[in-house]
Amino acid sequence: MEPIKRLKRELRAQGTVIGLYKDTVEVNGTIAEWDFIHHDGAAAVVAVDDRGRLVMVRQYRNALDRFTLELPAGKLDAPGEPTLECAKRELEEETGYRSGNMEYLMTINTTVAFCNEKIDLYLATDLQKAEQHLDPEEEINVEFWELADLEKMIYEGKMTDGKTVAGIMAYAVKYRSGNTQC
């Protein structure tokens, strides 16, 4: 394979969460323009209570114009923030729970064709009740789900959020292999 050479990157628009760029690249001697979306990164949490239920959040997603059932998650507050700190913060802010034991599960890139968003996923156990701290524009309902019911939703195409699907499936493998305290 011939290397692809980026010739120029121009910021087209800066949003609150993303930056939209136009990249000019050379591919096989041909000049092309590609879209690129920059995202600072995020963390998500598979939180499991003492009864083995997963703590999920239901919230409105503007891009889909509907409510979705997801893992608690959020973006980094600043580039370079440790994702473990982000995961701990988002778990408490969105669900009102803290974790006495949080371990790394995996990293995913959400949309590799045009976006560099990276999400680190963590498993949280030994949950303790704290206080939910929602932003003024957030409305989040906390729900508790059995793993089998969430897997069924995934296989039926009723749950399509990438980070949520990846986190639940990674946890399911870990749980069934006996590599977790749950």
From CA 119, how far away is CA 41, in angstroms rounded? 6
Based on the residue annotation, tell me whether 103 is a catalytic residue of this protein. Answer: no
Give CB contacts under 8 A, 24+ apart, made by 29-35.
31/7, 34/114, 35/114
In eight-state DSSP terms, residue 165 is H
Q: Would you tell me the crossing angle of helices 162-176 and 147-155 to the nearest 10 degrees?
A: 130
Q: Which of 26, 81, 103, 138 is catalytic?
A: 138
Q: End-to-end distance of the chain based on CA atoms, in angstroms?
A: 46
Distance CA 153, CA 147 (A): 10
Q: Specify the DSSP element, H or E, that contains 94.
A: helix 83-95
Name residue, tokens 């906390």: 142
Residues annotated as catalytic (active site), given as ranges: 138
